[in-house]
Amino acid sequence: MSESTFIASLMPKQEIGAQKFLETHPTYDGRGVIIAIFDSGVDPAAAGLQVTSDGKPKILDIIDCTGSGDIDTSKVVKADSNGFIAGASGSQLMVNKSWKNPSGEWRVGYKLVYDLFTETLTARLKKERKKKWDEKHAEATLEALSKLTAFDQKHPKPGSSSLKKEREDLQSRVDYLQKQADCYEDKGPVIDAVVWYDGSVWRAALDTQDLEEDPENGKLANFTPLTNYRIERKYGVFSKLDACSLSVNIYNDGSILSIVTDCSPHGTHVAGITAAHHPEEHLLNGIAPGAQIISCKIGDSRLGSMETGTGLIRALIAVVENKCDLINMSYGEPTMMPDYGRFVELANEVVNKYGVIFVSSAGNDGPSLSTLGAPGGTSSSIIGIGAYVSPVMASAAHCVVEPPTEGLEYTWSSRGPTVDGDLGVCLSAPGGAVAPVPTWTLQRRMLMNGTSMASPCACGGVALLLSSMKAEGLPISPYTVRKALENTATIIGNQPDEKLSTGHGLMQVDQAYEYLQNCKDAPAVWYRVKISRSGNSGSNMRGIYLREASDCQQTSEWTVQVEPKFHEDADKLEMLVPFEEYIQLKSSNSEVVKVPEYLLLTHNGRSFNILVDPTSLPEGLHYFEVHGIDCKAPQRGPVFRLPVTIIKPLVLRVRPPVASFSGLSFEAGHIERRFIEVPIGATWVEGTIRTSGFDTPRKFFISSVQICPKKRPIHWESFVTFSSPSLKSFSFAVEGGRTMEITIAQFWSSGNGSHATTHVDLEVEFRGISANKEDIFLSGTEAPTKIDVKALLSTEKLVPSACLTKIRVPYRPVKSVLLPLPTTRDRLPSGAQIYGLTLTYKFTLSEACDVTPHVPLLNNRIYDTKFESQFYMISDINKHVLAMGDAYPKSVKLSKGDYNLRIFLRHDNTQYLEKLKKLVLFIEKKFEEKVLSDSFVSLKFYSQPDGPITGLDIFSSSQLVPGETQAFYIGPVSEDKLPKDYSAGTVLLGKITYGKDSLGNRKGEQTGKACPASSEIFYIVPPPAKVEEKDREEGSSSSKISLNQRLEEEVRDAKLKVLSSLPREKIEECEEWGRFAASLKLEYPKHTPLLAQILEGLVSMSSNEDKKRHDKEVIDAANEVIDNIDKEELAKYFSMKSESEDDDAAETKKKMESLRDQLANALYRKGLALAEINLSEIQKIERDDDEFPSQSDTALAVDDTRDLFEENYAEFRKWADATSHKYGLLTVVHERRCKRLGSALKVLNDFIQDDSRPPEKKLYDLRLSLIEEIGWTHLVSYEKVGILVHFPSDYPLF
């Protein structure tokens, strides 16, 4: 291999005829073609993505369709006289005087930069930042230790209280620093964003100082302003440290700034394969170096890189807006229903109405059949691409020692057919390349492989064809181009599974070009084929797929409807009316698939019947096609194809049902498939695979697929490496009565350096215990639930095991808001505006646990759903978002407390959204492991229905004889095992198994594991039992009170309850509350609970405008409480030991404890207010610009209130634990006043880390001020970020 051949093979073109085509037509290299890249984002700074081959801008627009980079910039500020503005993060930012801003209005927002970076980049930055942080932290720790050591040397035995406290303070500083080193968590730098209108366009600038080591770098004023990328095509970089490119888009009149970064290297790599242009090395060019691209980021950075419905729909909108010719989408997910869903409907519109050609990856879930991903492998309007590897690719790109002699499909490439019979894989293309990657990876290019790489290779090939058609003035239609590709592809192999693996074959650009030249006068028509089984008109399929044994026992008749579909703008008189074709129907095997000879096809379509007779076919896989040939233009090739896939499974008639396949021979890339009808009654399979005859290690895929209606295929797989000849065992669940494909494949590159053949013996045994109920529902009553079980295949040991592992609690929204989305990116090509429905749920956790939200209507579906978004955020009461998710909710560990869950749904049909305003959401909580070890929810089994009550007749196991039914009872959950706090509709759920596998016994173990087949079990939690009230005893305290007195007390208490319920947020509400409180105080002047409540009400109405006046009001209210309590009587009571247990003593104790708490709280509130007044006086002196305050002036300000504070604090300590979490804040203030900042920090930090209460911003602010006062500058920055994380000003945008 020459060097040039090596370099060229890193970006394969020869395999698809692109190189030959470009050599003949060098200017048809994609020029004039615009390609939308639906992916993880494209880096405009990556190698080869700056200009096209003819010097035009390579990237026309860069869009984050997901919203993951959105910043709320609706807050407007103005600059002060010195040119500074207040940033949203709290920083003071200087704007550049040269920036034009006629209105003088600056819109501000902020973002945690790690929210914009990939996990890989974040990990690199954290490592580098931690190293620098450690250096600064070590300096601070050394200084603190030095001060402590010096103190110990000077005072080896501190005797006085003041010295002891001084040492405690120094020790606390050391301890705090050491604790910070242990719990360091880098939340990332904060970037401030500023948006303004310069009179022509909206612009944005970023302050990235937090990313820079030098504080002079990254300043806002030094940032080169950016506008929407499509306007000026400019981008920036956050810093040299990250080397991450960014671009921006500004929406909604400056209220939303979208910072666009990529969420993985994947998208840049894909774009490079499609269209990279390297002037310095043409051999590394992408397939279509002359094409331009639009980057549509559909991978959401908040979810790693998972696509979302929002991103997908916005991307389609962008395609039409930017008049794209092509789409490449190297993304996809499994689907329940092919060719269905909101995205597919809109994609069909983009293709059929706007003439866009859509190319997408088929998936990487092979090698079993029917493993295609959506949308690429399952949608009619999308060209699905499989992944092919050639010998030269294997040698050069993959560095395989001895490459295969012939090209083949990658082992993992997904295979067809779809569950509705379509071929699935349309074409194949090289599925590996060394292509450009983002600059933040710190390299120019890398190797990636997958159908994700095959799709852009094919897309680039299509771009070459479109470039030629535009240059030559040929009409362009997705239908004619697709037909050209399908009818000119090079067939790879002639076996049925090769057809289902590679589709119509390896695409050939040069031959497709010739086809388009020869058939340029052919009508631009898509021949839509709908198939239904005769007598079952309700099921429309796109092919015939006979898979079950019953399907192969007789001839079946099928009705085929062929509907010619023109583009929506086709002229009715000139194109639709004259359309008439004489179609010859040809079957690839007329003995099995019998068709009429001819068909007259007009615009309105035509149906015909065919017969499929599989009865004479041998066991295994068979594939046939029916071709429709235009009699007048046979050179067009098949104008439509009807795929017919027949699987005739092995039917096991022996008992126990065991299938053995011996002497299978494997070389690199070889695949063996066996199809077996799973016997009715089987619920799991146990298998062994024995290998021999090889030298070097071998890698194998072992996988299985079963297909069930309206469900995702049941897919099990295992990737096994055999280091030497040996035996491996496996087991998995199956569904009886359905065909199972079991596939063994030697990995395509495994064993290439060895000429030894791998010999494999496979044995599978079907086992099963069937129950009369698929899922078990326990009603929550005392009655047990009867289960009938039987073993149909062989004798089985019945060993039931059931454990409830989760709690599922239903919730309804407490709030729903339906609004039209304001930006043009959410307006469909049809002009319809998309609406957003925000649902808010509230839930409370009584203890820390793992939580997973579930929306049964929406979850686990991205493509096969009529809705385009289900994005959710879980936040605490401070709006701190703790978890995000979409179609696939993930578990998150949450502490005890109150939480909000907000979910965002989108659609242009408001009627759909209106129906979802009361959408039920489940919060699923895992039981703690300690609970499980105590058998908290392990269910018991009984042989008699009265067992749960009597405690007798425990059932543990029995022998099941084939055909015999046995019964046992599942007992209810005992009341003491139920969760403490639950609401109506709460369900406990888990799994139940009935048997054990025998694999453990084969390995010499005493007992086998629970079999892999299990059923869901649900326990409906009953209403909680009410605790009966004890009869009031004679002589109780209430009986000694007169009726009038009792009535007066209840009226008074009712008034207090009304007072506490009054809102106090607005000024008028506070005034109303004050008037009512004053009237009550006149009515009940000596009622301590009232005075205490007024005090708390005043505290809650904290005013920043006149803080000193408010503090004095608090002090006055606290004094009223203090003066109203007889402290001598209180002290006397608590100094006495009372052993009496009568009701009067209990009542007295309750009253005195309440008074003590009210006294302590009043002293606590008074102390905090006194400290605030003291602080404000000092600050007033320090702010006085008219004269310089003397030391005595400052001291006077302190002395004015110092005695009052200390006196109050001394009194407070008599009645409360000053270090408790309830009152510790006053101790913090006291220690700070005494200049013992370390001791203050210790108490405060313990207070903050208490998980039993929600975080409070004032505590974090206080901790920050203590750290600033101590002088730990590196911790100041760390703490400021923590405050922004824990206490955001508002929820982030969806």
Q: Which phi and psi (to 5°) does residue 1289 adopt?
A: -70, -25
Strand partners, 382: 358
Distance CA 707, CA 547 (A): 9
Distance CA 1289, CA 87 (A): 12
Distance CA 461, CA 457 (A): 6
From 137, 266, 504, 670, active-site residue: 266
Distance CA 324, CA 345 (A): 18
- Which of 923, 932, 899 has the alpha carbon at shortest distance from 851? 923
- Which of 762, 612, 767, 593 has the alpha carbon at shortest distance from 678? 767
Burial-class residue 1030 by CB neighbours within 10 Å (0-12, 13-18, 19+): exposed
Distance CA 1230, CA 1207 (A): 11
Helix 1224-1233 / helix 1257-1270 crossing angle, nearest 10 deg: 20
- Which of 367, 375, 299 has the alpha carbon at shortest distance from 333? 375
The C-alpha angle 611, 613, 616, rounded to 5 degrees, equals 165
Distance CA 1031, CA 67 (A): 62
The answer to whether the bond into 367 is cis (omega within 30° of 0) is yes
The answer to whether the bond into 417 is cis (omega within 30° of 0) is yes
The C-alpha angle 114, 115, 116, rounded to 5 degrees, equals 85
How far apart, in Å, are the Cα atoms of 1292 and each of 67, 96, 868, 872? 10, 28, 20, 11
Distance CA 777, CA 775 (A): 7
From the CA atom positions of the chain, what is the Rg in Å?
37
- Which of 242, 454, 239, 262 has the alpha carbon at shortest distance from 362? 454
Helices (H), 364-450: 391-396
Strand partners, 842: 900
Supply the DSSP string of 1107-1144, one letter for each residue: HHHHHHHHHHHHHHHHHHS-HHHHHHHHHS-----SHH
Structure tokens at 615: 């009865």
The answer to whether the bond into 430 is cis (omega within 30° of 0) is no
Distance CA 1216, CA 1222 (A): 9
From 395, 452, 477, 749, active-site residue: 452
Phi and psi based region of residue 367 (left: phi greater than 0; alpha: psi -120 to 50; beta: remaining): alpha
Q: Is 39 a catalytic residue?
A: yes
From 39, 72, 876, 997, active-site residue: 39
Strand partners, 556: 612
Q: Is 266 a catalytic residue?
A: yes
Question: How many Å is the maximal CA-CA distance in the chain?
Answer: 114
Q: Which residues of 1083-1113 are buried (b: 16+ CB within 10 A; e: fewer)?
A: ebeebbebbbbbbbbbbebeeeeeeeebbeb
Distance CA 787, CA 1017 (A): 12
How far apart, in Å, are the Cα atoms of 987 and each of 214, 269, 818, 892, 984? 56, 47, 30, 20, 9
| Cβ 824 vs Cβ 834: under 8 Å | no
Distance CA 1287, CA 1294 (A): 18
| Cβ 387 vs Cβ 453: under 8 Å | yes
Q: Which residues are catalytic?
A: 39, 266, 452
